[in-house]
Amino acid sequence: MSHSSELRIRPATPDDVPLILAFIRQIAEFEKLSHRVTATEEDLRESLFGANPGAEVLLAFAGDAPAAYAVFFHSFSTFLGKRGIWIEDIFVKPEFRRRGIGEALLTHIAALANARHCGRLEWTVLDWNTNAIAFYKALGADVLPDWKICRMTGPALRALAKRKPE
């Protein structure tokens, strides 16, 4: 990157909530999932900066321009007996791609994982996102072919929570 667009990565603060929500909407649009975004600024302020934060957010700036973000939280590996870091989102705005920003964010998170004595760093990638898959493989990531994500939300989650064991 040229000196005029110097890269800075910093942890998000409560003042960044509108920017975080804007990034969430941009990644959802890229993933063709905009219809699933229900998060509000209030949700994010409480979930990220309230009494029991559920995740951490990094923001990357090219000069003064917001260029990328990452959202991550700790997971746990029973097999390793150690915490891990799960990257929920990593997104570089299209106009800032191919400048090393995504790699810089992943490197930053990997350094945090090492400093925190984590045993693994994990994330998902959509199967059609061949550019991202190639990028992650080039960095040394394994793309696991045999694992499927299971998810419950909304009515299904509420129904299971109320279910009486037989």
Active site residues: 136
CA 119 to chain centre: 18
Residue-level pLDDT at 3: 45
Residue 50 has pLDDT above 60, yes or no: yes
Residue-level pLDDT at 73: 98
Pairing of strands 65-77, 82-92: antiparallel
Residue 5 has pLDDT above 70, yes or no: no
Q: Which domains does the chain have, with CATH numbers?
A: 3-162 (3.40.630.30)
Residue-level pLDDT at 92: 97
Residue-level pLDDT at 28: 96
* Radius of gyration, CA atoms only, the chain: 17
CA 153 to chain centre: 19
Residue 115 has pLDDT above 70, yes or no: yes
pTM, full prediction: 0.92
**Residue count (the chain):** 166
Separation CA 92–CA 69 (nearest Å): 7
Which range, 30-34, 114-118, 148-152, has the best average confidence (pLDDT)? 114-118
For residues 101 and 135, is the Cβ–Cβ distance under 8 A? no
Q: Which of 35, 149, 153 is nearest to 88 (CA)?
A: 149
Separation CA 54–CA 113 (nearest Å): 16
Rounded to the nearest integer, the mean pLDDT of the chain is 95
* Placement of tokens 């991550």 in the chain: 72
Q: What order of strands is seen across the sheet that includes strand 56-62? A: 7-11, 56-62, 65-77, 82-92, 120-123
Q: Report the percentage of the chain scoring pLDDT > 90.
A: 94
- Mean pLDDT, residues 30-39: 95
Residue-level pLDDT at 1: 44
Residue 4 has pLDDT above 80, yes or no: no
- Mean pLDDT, residues 134-155: 93
Residue 90 has pLDDT above 50, yes or no: yes
- Mean pLDDT, residues 99-110: 97
Confidence of residue 165 (pLDDT cuts 50, 70, 90): confident
